[in-house]
Amino acid sequence: MDLHVSLVGRKDLSGEIYRQLRRAILEDRLRPGDALPPTRVLARGLGVSRTTATLAYERLAGEGFVTSRVGAGTFVSERVARVPKDAATRRARPVDKEALRPRRIWDSIPIPTAFDRPAAFDFRSGLPDASLFPHRAWRRVMARALREDSAVSGGVYGHPAGHRGLREAIARHIGIARGVTASPDDVVVTSGTQQALDLIARVLLSPGDTVAVEDPGYPPPRRLFTSLGARVHHVPVDADGLMVDALPRHTRLVYVTPSHQYPLGMSMTLSRRVALLAWAERHHAAIIEDDYDSEFRFGGRPIEPLQTLDSAGRVVYVGSFSKTLLPTLRLGFVVTPPSLSKAVYKAKHVTDWHTSMLAQAALARFIDEGGFARHIRRVGAVYRMRHAMITATLMREFAGRLDVIPSAAGLHVAATARASADQVAAIASRAADAGVAVQELSKFAAGAAWRSGLLLGFGAIATGHIEEGLRRLRACFR
């Protein structure tokens, strides 16, 4: 009998014996009917106690690998179907890297990279200032939610649409801050904007359907729509926002950022908004209004959200707490028109049941008690200052090189460059070497002919670093 058991060290000897015998059975080295050595023989041979060997045998018997017959001994079971000889166990050989083939569509989705690329002068967009996060207040509301909120600690799954108190708080908040008309029943809490888009897309899009996105625009939604089998059509943006006339006729869904176009930063004009709504009505299309960072306003008058202007129920409004609080919390929401609310709610349920109740309950309290409004006012003043500093410095020190695109909200400023996209890429690369992280506008464009420029976020950079950061960036233009 080819039974080789080798023991190294003194830890879990019984487990080691069990594993080696099991592998021998699975690999057909021990065959049905083969007798195992008596435990006393094996124990002596290996220099272990008889109990150690007995435990290993009992485990094998419990799993059906071996059978004991009184007065006869222990035998490999007849009924164990064996793994093919060359297969052996997982540990014994490297597992086939092509055993399962993902859908081909995933080949076209890039692997996400660079989730944390710290730079001394970090002008990346889309990130809030984590040092302004109200840690103490948040710990307090979380501790209380965990202690007192039965939706958190009741031990039952929550409502797919979200924590009732949070849905009420969100409806009030967006009513006051954004002029969005919504009842709590229209609100579904999501794990961030990206999931809100996923739910809407799953509800509306069949493979092959056309989705229109802004060009230049925000990449993650494009990747999502592509992964669901949709045809993504890039529609150019001009100074007024998405060019409605360029929308393809059979578009089922239009994804836009009207309050603060990403990445260019301007607001969609009222006439363009009205035109987009009329277009959607004429073509039976849906509109996603992604209002990702417009809680921070620095002047001018906000234009009514598409959601409020919409009289036909074609707009789905999406909001996020990633910019006002922290992206790592993964909290956002969608305001659905009546025709979609049931399906969005079902989609949330089959996708992940509901978003973490603890974070929802904590946020509900934070909003209700006024902590959120105070936080927005406090950090809004900081961002206003940074926005003004960057805008003023770009206009003064980068004149003739960069043209600032006027913006009055959000966490970033964009500027078009007179240099070519290649030259801007070289500048961004030199900037990175100098410890300055900036993003190139052309990276957000699908059309290769799009103008070059830079995107300067001010959420991740301390106010005191902005001047030096821009000084270094300026030096890279030489």
Task: Enumerate residues 421-440 that contact a second copy by CB under 8 A.
Answer: none
Query: What's the closest the beta carbon of residue 67 comes to a second copy, in angstroms?
Result: 12
282 DSSP assignment: H
Of residues 43-82, those binding a second copy (CB under 8 A): 44-47, 58-59, 62-65, 79-82
**Region near a second copy per CB under 8 A, out of 171-179, 210-218, 417-425, 431-439:** 171-179
Query: What's the closest the beta carbon of residue 149 comes to a second copy, in angstroms?
Result: 9
Query: What's the closest the beta carbon of residue 207 comes to a second copy, in angstroms?
Result: 6
Do residues 338 and 144 lie in contact, with contact meaning Cβ atoms separated by under 8 Å? no
464 interacts with a second copy by CB under 8 A? no
Q: Residue type at 164?
A: R
User: What is the enclosing helix (H) or strand (E) of 448?
Assistant: none
Q: Residue type at 120?
A: A
266 interacts with a second copy by CB under 8 A? no
Please tell me the distance from the alpha carbon of residue 255 to that of residue 234, in angstroms, as a whole number.
10
Residue 61 or 389 with smaller CB distance to a second copy: 61
Give the number of other Cβ atoms within 10 Å of residue 47's Cβ: 9
192 interacts with a second copy by CB under 8 A? yes
350-389 footprint of a second copy as x/- string (CB under 8 A) = xxxxxxxxxx------------xx--xx--x---------
Residue 147 or 249 with smaller CB distance to a second copy: 147
190 interacts with a second copy by CB under 8 A? yes
147 interacts with a second copy by CB under 8 A? yes
Burial 376-412 (b: 16+ CB within 10 A, else e): beebeebbeebbeebbebbeeebeebbbbbebbbbbb
**Distance between start and end Cα atoms, the chain:** 79
Please tell me the distance from the alpha carbon of residue 174 to that of residue 273, in angstroms, as a whole number.
19
295 interacts with a second copy by CB under 8 A? yes
Give the number of other Cβ atoms within 10 Å of residue 126's Cβ: 21
Residue 98 or 478 with smaller CB distance to a second copy: 98
Of residues 386-405, those binding a second copy (CB under 8 A): none
Residue 209 or 403 with smaller CB distance to a second copy: 209
- The correct pick among 50, 159, 418, 471 for binding a second copy (CB under 8 A) is 159
Query: What's the closest the beta carbon of residue 157 comes to a second copy, in angstroms?
Result: 5
- The correct pick among 38, 73, 313, 371 for binding a second copy (CB under 8 A) is 313
Do residues 427 and 476 lie in contact, with contact meaning Cβ atoms separated by under 8 Å? yes
In the Cβ-directed half-sphere of 132, how many Cα atoms lie within 13 Å? 23
Strand order in the sheet with 439-440: 402-404, 412-417, 453-457, 439-440
297 DSSP assignment: B
Query: What's the closest the beta carbon of residue 428 comes to a second copy, in angstroms?
Result: 19
Of residues 91-110, those binding a second copy (CB under 8 A): 91-103, 106, 109-110
